[in-house]
């Protein structure tokens, strides 16, 4: 990729996420999912990995997605969309989906099982789902539960890409080593996109790169 092309994607990503992003649906069950329309990208990750914070950083909104220090607070599939009157003809429609965190959750086991089933059914039956961004805490790296999710995504043949969060909280050398280790592990997963991104919702590092990656994805799906 040339510098000029990279700069163009960065600017296209900025425009894609400019404007008025709004909450549109909260779906606690498959029956309540919104009708399929615009392409969707979903954000998955362990509880408290920073999904809501990253969505807020992408859209430039401090409180679009609800954040919490209590793991497992998001118990539904939360959909966000940009108002159509803000979208230029060169920018396709896009929805963001905040998925319930997996792993530890401060909720009854029956509730955890219910929203885990919701996630799996959503992944396997949503033709408008272009990619799942699986967020990994840069301080801790991959856990066994992450590998379980990778297997689910592989089985559902859903494209997914790993995004490290909280990169500002680890040293660069440690981050680079963790990315290299993770990339090696992804070789066993056929649905995984090979490039790994790193972001910080606090400092904004890597957010423009993630936006640019979404632009490339949308152009490929047009």
Q: Grade residue 207 by pLDDT with cuts at 50, 70 and 90.
A: very high
Q: Strand order of the sheet with strand 94-98? A: 21-27, 77-82, 94-98, 39-45, 129-137, 160-165, 197-198
Measured torsion, CA atoms of residues 44, 63, 24, 166, in degrees rounded to the nearest 10: -10
Across the chain, what does the average pLDDT equal? 84
Tell me the mean pLDDT in the region 36-47.
90
Distance CA 162, CA 183 (A): 9
Give whole-number Cα distances, 180 to 173, 174, 177, 186, 210, in Å.
Answer: 11, 10, 5, 10, 18
The DSSP 8-state label assigned to residue 167 in this structure reads G
C-beta separation of 86 from 18 below 8 A: yes
Q: Rg of the Cα trace of the chain?
A: 16
Distance CA 41, CA 53 (A): 16
Tell me the mean pLDDT in the region 144-167.
91
Tell me the mean pLDDT in the region 95-120.
74
| CATH code of the domain in which 117 resides | 3.40.50.300
Structural tokens at position 172 = 């660069």
The confidence score (pLDDT) of residue 181 equals 93
Structural domain count of the chain = 1
Say what percent of the chain tops pLDDT 70. Answer: 85
Structural domain span for residue 148: 3-221
pLDDT(43) > 90: yes
**Lowest mean per-residue pLDDT among 74-88, 153-167, 181-195, 203-217:** 74-88
The confidence score (pLDDT) of residue 182 equals 94
Query: pLDDT tens digits, residue range 63-102?
Result: 777 654 444 445 788 999 887 644 444 555 799 999 888 7
């Amino acid at each position: 990729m040339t510098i000029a092309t990279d700069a163009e994607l960065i600017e296209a990503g900025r425009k894609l996420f400019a404007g008025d992003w709004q909450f549109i649906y909260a779906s606690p069950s498959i029956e309540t999912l919104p009708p399929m329309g615009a392409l969707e990208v979903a954000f998955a990750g362990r509880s408290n990995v920073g999904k809501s914070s990253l969505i807020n950083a992408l859209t430039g909104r401090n409180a679009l997605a609800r954040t919490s220090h209590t793991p497992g607070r998001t118990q539904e599939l939360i959909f966000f969309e940009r108002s159509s009157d803000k979208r230029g003809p060169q920018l396709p429609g896009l929805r963001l989906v905040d998925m319930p965190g997996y792993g530890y959750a401060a909720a009854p086991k029956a509730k955890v099982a219910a929203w885990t089933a919701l996630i799996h059914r959503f992944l396997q039956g949503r033709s408008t789902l272009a990619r799942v961004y699986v967020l990994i805490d840069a301080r801790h790296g991959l856990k066994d539960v992450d590998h379980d999710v990778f297997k689910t995504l592989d089985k559902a043949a859903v494209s997914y890409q790993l995004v490290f969060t909280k990169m500002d909280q680890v040293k660069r050398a440690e981050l680079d080593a963790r990315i290299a280790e993770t990339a090696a592990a992804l070789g066993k997963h056929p649905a995984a996109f090979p490039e790994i991104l790193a972001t910080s919702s606090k400092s904004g590092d890597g957010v423009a790169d993630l936006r640019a990656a979404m632009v490339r994805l949308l152009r490929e799906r047009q």
